Amino acid sequence: MENIRLNRVTEIQTYTTPTQWMHYPGVDNPADHLSRGVNANQLKGLDTRWRGPAWLTKGVESWPCDTGYTKQSPFEERKTPHPVLHIQTPAPLLDPSRYSSYWMLLHVTAWIFRFICNIRRAHRSSDELRASELTQARLHWIKTVQGECFWVQHDALQRNADLPRESKITRSNPFL
């Protein structure tokens, strides 16, 4: 993107001379409106934003004089940013309540993991589930339950902070 801008500037400089350039007063510059705190509702009503300044449609003699000195344009209005709270809740792989048994849940989870692995690699597995795949599925659900039930402790462990004193698992010396 930056390269395109440089090419356009180079092209403009190639086909023009600095004597053809004129100063464009900041108060008439539509690009300056947003940096000066104009909100969207005010922007809709600004003719300079949509049509350019009025003097631009008139003859060159009515254009502003380029004296090299311009009146002080209004200072750019700086607004303090508003904090945005973004909460990301991971979508569960499956709804465990839809399965009649723990073993059925593990098998379905293991088949989903195998499907994902088969998509990602050229060598595909189509035989019976292996013990390592069932173990991976079991560990997935253990981590999921731990993340849901002990999210405060998990967050503290990720930040290398002390666990809350009232935590039921502090005595177990948990780690990630």
Average pLDDT, the chain: 79
Name the more confident of 73 and 26.
26
pLDDT at 2 over 60: no
pLDDT tens digits for 120-141?
887 788 889 999 999 999 999 9
pLDDT tens digits for 75-91?
556 677 777 777 777 67
Residue 41 domain flag = yes
pLDDT tens digits for 18-62?
777 777 767 777 777 777 777 778 777 777 777 777 777 888 777
Give the mean model confidence (pLDDT) for residues 51-74: 67
The pLDDT, as a whole number, for residue 70 is: 46
The pLDDT, as a whole number, for residue 132 is: 94
Same domain as 164, residue 121: yes
pTM above 0.95, yes or no: no
The whole-angstrom separation of Cα 172 and Cα 148 is 18
CA 86 to chain centre: 10
The pLDDT, as a whole number, for residue 80 is: 74
Using the 3D structure, point to which of 62, 86, 111 is the last residue of a domain. Answer: 62
Same domain as 157, residue 103: yes
Same domain as 101, residue 58: no
Same domain as 163, residue 100: yes
Using the 3D structure, point to which of 62, 85, 107 is the last residue of a domain. Answer: 62
Residue at token pair 């039930």? 149
Residue 157 domain flag = yes
- Tokens, residue 15: 């086909």
Domain total of the chain: 2
Residue 75 domain flag = no
One DSSP character per residue, 129-172 reads PPHHHHHHHHHHHHHHHHHHHSHHHHHHHHTTPPPPTT-TTGGG
Residue 8 domain flag = yes
Same domain as 100, residue 55: no
Enclosing domain of residue 36: 2-62
For the ranges 32-36, 64-68, 164-168, the one whose mean pLDDT is highest? 164-168
Residue 48 domain flag = yes
The pLDDT, as a whole number, for residue 3 is: 55
The whole-angstrom separation of Cα 157 and Cα 175 is 7
Residue 162 domain flag = yes
Residue 150 domain flag = yes
The pLDDT, as a whole number, for residue 77 is: 64
Residue 156 domain flag = yes
Same domain as 111, residue 53: no
The pLDDT, as a whole number, for residue 69 is: 47
The whole-angstrom separation of Cα 31 and Cα 50 is 11
The percent of residues in the chain predicted with pLDDT above 90, rounded, is 18
